[in-house]
Amino acid sequence: MRLVSWALASAIIASLSLASCISPAAAESIESATRKEFAKQDRACFQCHRSLNPGLAEEWRSSAHAKKGVGCYDCHRAEKNDTDAFEHNGATIAVIVSPKDCARCHQNEVDQQKGSHHAKAGEILASLDNFLGEVVGGSPAVAVGCFQCHGSTVKALPNGKFDPATWPNTGIGRINPDGSAGSCSACHTRHNFSKAQARQPGTCGKCHLGPDHPQVEIYQESKHGILWEANKERLNLDRKLWKPGVDYTAAPSCATCHMSATRTQGVTHDVGDRISWTLRPAISTKLNMVVFDDLSKMDVPEGQALPNVGDERKGSDDKVRKVTQVFTWQQRRERMQDVCTSCHAGGLVNGFYKQFDDLVDMYNDKFAKPAAAVMAELYKAKKLTPAPMDEKLEWTYYELWHHEGRRARHGASMSGPDYAWWHGIYEVAKTFYLHFIPEVKEVAGEPLATELMDKYVYSQPGHRWLKEGMSKDQLQKIQDFYRQRYGDQK
C-alpha cells in the first residue's frame, strides 16, 4: 500500500471535478464556494484522524470517494437539530451516515433499496418476533446477534453518542435516528466503500450464513463458488457495471445474479427483484410483486388477486399508495434466467428450474404442509399453550422449517447438493420421522394422534412406506446390495 502525502491527495482532489456517477442534481446542489468550504473542513478531519485512527483515514484516502473529491464532511455533516448531531471541533456532524445521507449523491441506489426486504429487516426486531432473542435468549444477545445483521432502532443520546444497546451495528435494516431504514455500509464497508469488495460473496455472507439460511456456504460449495475461488483474478471486480458475459465470464458472485447489470437489465439494489419463490416461511409460495408510488413494494403470493397499475391501496399505516408496477413471479424469474443465460444455454437453465421447483413442491407437500396443519390442530385442540417456544415440539417444528427445510430449499436454489440433501432433506426427514411424529403423538394423545396421522401424514403418498412397510422382494434386494457393497458387516 502506498501512502500518498496529504499534499498529493488534496492536489488530486482539487484537480477532479465532481464525477459523473453521482446524481447531477446532487452535484449541482453543492456550489463551488460550499465545495471549497467542505474541502477545508475535510482537511481538518483528515489531519486529526490520520493521527488518531490512521486505518480509517487511509482507507478513505485510497477510496473512489477521495479520488472524486468526496470527503468526510460531505457524508458526516448534519443539521444542528438532527437528533444525533453534535459539535465537533467547530463542525456540526453525526457519526451515523444513513441512506438519507448517501442519497445526496446516490439517489437511484437508495430508491432501489427502499422497497427491498433488506430495508425491512429491522422491523422483525421492533416487533415481537424477537421473543426468541429478547426473552428466550436475552437482550444482550440481541445486540451482538440479531441487530448486527437485521439492524436495531438506533437510540441517540446527547452529544452525538448512542445507546450502546442499539449501536454499533451496520444491520441492513437499521432504523436510523433520521428515520431512514438501512445501512449502506453493511455491504459497502467503511471507509473505502469499494465496489469490488461489495461484490465479494463474503460481503453477503456476513448475514446470509449459518444453520437457518446458509446461502454463502451453499454458494461456496456450488460450481459457482468453486469457480470464483479459482478465478478471482480474472473477474475485473472493479468494472463499473460488471456485466456477466461482458466484463467477466469465469464465475459469478451473489451480486452477479441478484444485483448486477446484465446485457439487458440495469443494476438493482433490491435483491428480491429476480426471485420467484420465497424460501423463507414454513411453506414456500411463488411471489408476484407490486410496486407503489412511494417506491415501497408488496409481495402477493401466487393465486391471490393482483391489483392493477393505478389502483390505490391503504397500508397498515393508513397511508394510501398508488400501484405503479406489477411484476408476476414469472417475470421475476425471467429476470433471473436472463442472468443465467449470460453463461448457460437455455436447456440447462430450464432443467435446473424444473429440479428446483420439484424439490420445493415436494418439501411443501410431503413435510411442510402436513407439519403446519398438525401444529395448527394441536393449538386449536389446546394441546399446546399459545405461548411460543415453551414446549419442546415447538422447537422441533421451528427447526424443521426454519433451519432444515430452508437449507434444503436454498441448497436446491443455488446448486449446493450437500445442503439440499445432507443438511437439508436428510435432516428434514430425520426430524420429521424421529422427533416430530413421536412428539406429536405424545402431545396429542389418542384418539387425536391417530386422527392427525391418518389425515395429514399417511394421506401423503411419500409417507406410505412407513405404514405399509416394504415387500420381501424389495427388502432382499436392499440386503443383497448392502452385502455386496459393504460386506457382511450388517
Min. distance of Cβ 401 from a copy of itself in angstroms? 9
SS3 category, 415: coil
**450/474 with CB nearer a copy of itself:** 474
Min. distance of Cβ 28 from a copy of itself in angstroms? 32
**330/379 with CB nearer a copy of itself:** 379
Element (H, E) at 204: helix 201-205
Min. distance of Cβ 363 from a copy of itself in angstroms? 8
**29/355 with CB nearer a copy of itself:** 355
| Count of C-beta atoms within a 10 Å radius of residue 294 | 13
**116/192 with CB nearer a copy of itself:** 192
SS3 category, 366: helix
Min. distance of Cβ 116 from a copy of itself in angstroms? 16
Q: What CA–CA distance (Å, rounded) separates 68 from 63?
A: 9
Which residue is listed with cell 450502546?
Answer: 164
- Give the residues across from 299 on adjacent strands: 289
**What Å distances lie between residue 56 and 14, 68, 190, 193, CA to CA?**
21, 18, 8, 12
Min. distance of Cβ 354 from a copy of itself in angstroms? 4
Min. distance of Cβ 24 from a copy of itself in angstroms? 31
**301/307 with CB nearer a copy of itself:** 301
Min. distance of Cβ 206 from a copy of itself in angstroms? 6
Q: What CA–CA distance (Å, rounded) separates 280 from 54?
A: 42
Which residue is listed with cell 406410505?
Answer: 464
Q: Are 102 and 190 in contact (CB under 8 A)?
A: no
Min. distance of Cβ 446 from a copy of itself in angstroms? 21
**36/483 with CB nearer a copy of itself:** 483
**32/485 with CB nearer a copy of itself:** 485
**311/361 with CB nearer a copy of itself:** 361
Closest CA relative to residue 281, chosen from 369, 352, 386, 376: 369
Q: What CA–CA distance (Å, rounded) separates 380 from 20?
A: 61
Q: Are 309 and 323 in contact (CB under 8 A)?
A: yes
Cα three-residue angle 408-413-419, rounded to 5 degrees: 35
**128/309 with CB nearer a copy of itself:** 128
Question: Per-residue DSSP letters for 176-223?
Answer: -TTS-B--GGGTS-TTT--HHHHTSHHHHHTTS-SSS--HHHHHHHSH
> Is the Cα torsion angle 281, 285, 288, 290 positive or negative in sign?
negative
Min. distance of Cβ 325 from a copy of itself in angstroms? 23
Task: Indicate the DSSP class of residue 289.
Answer: E
Q: Are 61 and 191 in contact (CB under 8 A)?
A: no
